[in-house]
Structure 1
Amino acid sequence: MKYVILIHSNPKPWGHPTDRFTDEGRAVPTAELDAADRAFDGLLAELSASGELVTGEALADPASATVYRWRSGESLASEGPFAETQEHVAGFFLIDCATRERAEQIATQFAGPGSVAELRPAFVWE
């Protein structure tokens, strides 16, 4: 089953990896952040080798976004992030796991200082 891991963050200013740009991340010693980066790279290598990592991408600054909403029978574009929250999607990973439990084991390793990881099953079209 495929799952999406969405990374939500509120870095100031926007940048990647987001934990280097959040208030919480800046409070962590650089050596610890570097160790966490190496561990995360190892996780991605493991998931790639096992075939569980389908794809992933970091996303650009939310200020560069265009939001489309349906209004009065047509799609209207608005520039910039108009989410009702300070946190925005910073990136995503698509994984393919045998069980929900395995997906949860993986997703717990994606949250970092100042960010939240959301695990959501991909919709199955029938």
Structure 2
Amino acid sequence: MKYVILIHSNPQPWGHPTSDFLAEHQALSAAEREERNADFESVMQDLSERGELVGGQALGDPRDARLFRWEGGRRKVTDGPYAETVEHFAGFFLVDVADQARAEEVAAKFSGPGETVELRPVAD
């Protein structure tokens, strides 16, 4: 079963890894930050070794986004981000796992201080 893990974050200024730019993450001790980074690397290695990682990508600064909408029967192009919001879509990982329980286990490992992680099944 394929799932997408969507990473939402609010770093100011924008950069990757997004956690490095979050006050909640910066407030952690150096040892805690190192442990979180090691946990992330471990998750990525585990997903790769198990053949569950299909792909993923960090996204650029939301201020560089362009929105394409229709208004009054015409295409309208505006600068991003998508909406007035505190959080922005920072990146995603596509995984192919045995079931929802495994997907939730993996997604939980992506969450950290100051970030929101969304797990969504991929429509077939």
* SS of alignment partner, residue 108 of structure 1: helix
TM, length-normalised to structure 1: 0.92
In structure 1, the residue matched to 2:61 is 61
Is 1:28 paired with 2:28? yes
In structure 2, the residue matched to 1:13 is 13
In structure 2, the residue matched to 1:103 is 103
TM, length-normalised to structure 2: 0.94
> Which residue identity is paired with 2:73?
G
Percent of aligned positions that are identical: 52
Q: Which runs of 5+ in 1 are unaligned?
A: none
RMSD: 1.1
Residues paired across the two proteins, number: 124
Following superposition of structure 1 onto structure 2, how do residues 69-80 of structure 1 map, counting pairs within 5 Å? Answer: 69-80=69-80
Superposed CA offset, 1:70-112 (max 9, x none):
2222332111213132100011000001101110010000111
CA distance in 1, matches of 2:42, 2:113: 18
Q: Which runs of 5+ in 2 are unaligned?
A: none
> Which residue identity is paired with 2:21?
F
CA distance in 1, matches of 2:76, 2:33: 41
